[in-house]
A and B are shown apart, each in its own frame.
Chain A
């Protein structure tokens, strides 16, 4: 199969014949074979990598234990920067999840063909990213055993559920997002789990039989499946926009200079999807190689993903410019001071790192050669991850540090506890993702086959037209 592997060497032709998607040499049966081959028992290197990630996660767990035992004083959280690394992590990880939803739901509604082999991995990333994000409000609490105080329920402590607070909206939005994402994921997985069930034995067969719910591909099953999948995609689309808008209102609803801005909702949503696209590339490029999925995940798919990333980078860059312009145009001295400190203050290097990683470096994606060079794409995606984390930290900690009263100004310095927990969260996410690449078909066989059918149909129509 590798001999006929489609590669993108020449210029991209838009006609179906020239699309080097996994079409030309692959038939429906090959799709199952290639994807199920990726589920084969891994080698020692896989376990070694998993052990490394587990060690990183354990280090993060130990740092959290230390924080619980010693109190929040072991972090750099001091007045006035009481939101810093942990809330940055929360916003970052919620945002990472958004690309998965964009690729799986929004591009599904647009009938975008290139998404088909990418979306399962992106969805898997989404679920673990939201789960990781959900840990950070708990970590930030300090006394985690009082987590249930966050829930808006009537209680004897006179803690009234305040539905006018963005923090309560956030609890509803993120938990809804997590739940609906899992439902969407499991329903989409059923046909592939059935295919895996028929191609495996032992405990794997039992696992896939369970996940397939007895799926057999009958007309009635597809009929209900298509309806519910379409409606869920329709639901998830506004949901994903609402979730990061709500997250942005955690900040924008406050009067703080640097936060109180109407651009925050679209700014955060674009940034979230941008960062998620970066993370999808970071995870998928090595996964493609490690699992031997070069035949289904071609450079064509990454080329499209890179174009999407580039477009989002431009939106994010516009948001930076608009935000800065409005700070200047407002003639509000507090706002202007905050922005001046953002550019030239102690956190200035973070701002310029953000601009470099999110606005300047992604411009290389204008080059088709870079977009098709997966090593270059991987490097760009790493910069995007760094840049987006830095942007969140700059917005959150930077704005709090330079509030109205200059006598109160104080800049947050992360401690080893915060750094270790953050690094641990990256290991935690990658660990679960890596584990899942060996447990569930990380490429949707069903949708790839559907895409092949579309490709054949397009070719047939083209040949018919040519003959006529």
Chain B
């Protein structure tokens, strides 16, 4: 968040929170953030946040996993241990697909978890500006960084949207 005054609104419901975000964005506040006790697609939509780059991690991890599964099975069976069992071809693609499939899921999942940690900046050792423990309980929070002189306007917008409490902090 940019420097300036942080105005923070607490909301009892998701819809009031969404209204506040929309009002603030319509009033051209650039730095609006939200805290929610559960995932809210409406809040993310209102903030214009929908897609996450984590999915690219998952895709690349899955491709790497499938490729490594085929490399492992074909490499070991065909290169290092060309051993015929049960009259089957040394490089038997159908059974190797099973190994590749499992590794695709394993690598894709682990890559997704790593992407989540990287983009979510975990572990988050310090509280975000404007965080309040009530946001993990039952309150929705909207935090807006206000340029000088606009904090009263932001406060009014939050109250008009139905904030049950509004306070300020220096960012």
> Interface of A with B (CB < 8 Å)?
27-29, 32, 152, 154, 160-165, 168-169, 172-173, 176, 179-180, 183-184, 187, 191, 194-195, 197-199, 213-228, 231-232, 235-236, 238-239, 242, 246, 446-447, 449-450, 453
Q: List 29 A-B contacts (CB under 8 A).
A: A161-B77, A162-B85, A163-B92, A163-B95, A164-B77, A172-B98, A180-B105, A183-B110, A198-B133, A198-B136, A199-B137, A214-B122, A216-B35, A216-B135, A218-B34, A218-B131, A219-B35, A219-B44, A219-B47, A223-B44, A224-B52, A226-B52, A227-B54, A228-B58, A228-B113, A228-B115, A236-B109, A239-B102, A242-B102
Flag whether B64 is at the interface (Cβ < 8 A).
Answer: no
B51: A residues at CB distance < 8 A: 227
Bound: A153/B137 CA distance, A: 49
Given contacts A164-B85, A232-B112, A246-B98, contact A225 B49 (CB under 8 A): no
Say yes or no: A169 contacts B99, CB within 8 Å. yes
Least Cβ distance of B17 to chain A in Å? 10
Q: Does B40 contact A (CB under 8 A)?
A: yes
User: Closest approach, in angstroms, between the C-beta of B67 and any C-beta of chain A?
Assistant: 15
Contact A235 B108 (CB under 8 A): yes
| Residues of chain B contacted by A199 (CB below 8 angstroms) | 137
Contact A176 B54, beta carbon cutoff 8 Å: no
How far, in angstroms, from A50 to B96 measured CA to CA in the complex? 44
Chain A: interface secondary structure?
helix
| Interface size range of chain B in the complex | 35 or more
- Report A-chain residues with C-beta under 8 Å of the C-beta of B116: 187, 224-225, 227-228
Please state if A187 and B83 are interface contacts (CB–CB under 8 Å): no
Cβ of B169 within 8 Å of any chain A Cβ, yes or no, is: no
A contact residues around B44 at 8 Å (CB): 219, 222-223, 226
Q: Which residue of A lies closest to B94 (CB)?
A: A164
Contact status A228-B112, CB under 8 Å: yes
Q: Indicate if B55 sits at the interface (CB-CB under 8 A).
A: yes
Residue A163 contacts which of B14, B73, B135 (CB distance < 8 angstroms)?
A: B73
Task: State the B residues within 8 Å of A (CB).
Answer: 14, 33-41, 43-44, 47, 49-52, 54-55, 58, 62, 72-73, 76-77, 80-81, 83, 85-86, 88, 92, 95-96, 98-99, 101-103, 105-106, 108-110, 112-113, 115-117, 119-120, 122-128, 131, 133, 135-138
Complex interface: chain B residues within 8 A of A180 (CB)? 105-106, 109
- In the assembled complex, which residues on chain B have CB atoms less than 8 Å from the CB atom of A220? 33, 49, 119-120
CA of A242 to CA of B52 in the docked complex: distance in angstroms? 28
Q: Closest CB of chain A to B43's CB: distance in Å?
A: 6
A163 to B136, alpha carbons, bound, how many Å? 48
Bound form: Cα–Cα A164–B97 in Å: 10
Number of A-B residue pairs, CB cutoff 8 Å, is: 186
B128: contacting residue among A162, A183, A218, A449, CB under 8 A? A218
Q: What is the CA–CA distance of A217 and B35 in the complex, to the nearest angstrom?
A: 5
A426 to B52, CA, bound (A): 42
With A164-B88, A218-B128, A224-B116 known as contacts, the answer to whether A195 contacts B52 (CB < 8 A) is no
Tell whether A169 pairs with B98 under 8 Å between CB atoms, given A220-B120, A222-B44: yes
Q: Given A219-B44, A446-B39, A179–B95 Cβ distance below 8 Å? A: no
Contact of B123 among A28, A164, A213, A226 (CB under 8 A): A213
Q: Is the CB of B76 within 8 A of A161?
A: yes
Given A227-B55, A231-B55, A239-B105, A216 and B77 contact (CB-CB distance below 8 Å): no
Is B124 within 8 A of A224, CB to CB? no
Residues of A within 8 A of B101 (CB): 238, 242
7 residue pairs, one from A and one from B, having the closest CB atoms = A214-B124, A28-B138, A227-B52, A29-B138, A198-B133, A160-B81, A450-B38
Q: Write the nearest CB–CB distance from A152 to chain B, whole angstroms.
A: 7
Known A163-B92, A163-B99, A226-B41; 20 more pairs at CB < 8 Å: A163-B95, A164-B85, A164-B95, A176-B102, A179-B110, A183-B109, A187-B116, A218-B35, A219-B35, A221-B124, A223-B44, A223-B49, A224-B116, A227-B51, A227-B116, A228-B112, A228-B115, A231-B54, A232-B112, A239-B105
Cβ–Cβ < 8 Å partners of A160 in chain B: 81, 83
Are B37 and A446 in touch, CB under 8 angstroms? yes
Interface pair B50/A223, CB less than 8 Å apart: yes
* Whole-angstrom distance between the Cβ of B124 and the nearest chain A Cβ: 3
| CA of A356 to CA of B113, assembled, Å | 44
Residue of A with least CB distance to B130: A218
